[in-house]
Amino acid sequence: MDTSLFYARLFGIYYVAMAVIWMIRGPVLARSLNEWTGNPGSMMLTGIMTLFIGAAMVASHQVYELSWRGVITVIAYIAVLKGAVLIGWPRVRNIDYTRFSRSPLRWITGLVCLVLGGWLAWIGFAGGA
């Protein structure tokens, strides 16, 4: 299987699942996220894992084009950046998820992730475009 199709399937399923959970169970998820991000050890571990996974994705998927394959590469670089920020500057990500889960942004981010995930899953399982 093509690496791009694999990542499209992986991110498609992940984004759709997380979007649905975020939109349906936002306040419950927000409480868990607030507890997780309040622990410096948890943030360090999350940063290390995110940086490692992002670096592996960048190393295995270097496609620089204006297509869905390029979107996957951008997601990989964002993961590397996020991992580095979580390790080096963990307080930058201090977000009150409970307040965020009650705002209209919860629905906007949920819908954006749902559309992006649906699009990537469709491409991944339909065989690419």
User: Where is 82: in which H helix or E strand?
Assistant: helix 68-88
On whether the CB atoms of residues 36 and 98 are closer than 8 A, the answer is no
pTM: 0.84
Write out pLDDT tens, residues 76-85: 999 999 999 9
Q: What is the CA radius of gyration of the chain?
A: 16
Q: Tell me what the pLDDT averaged over the chain comes to.
A: 89
Confidence of residue 92 (pLDDT cuts 50, 70, 90): low
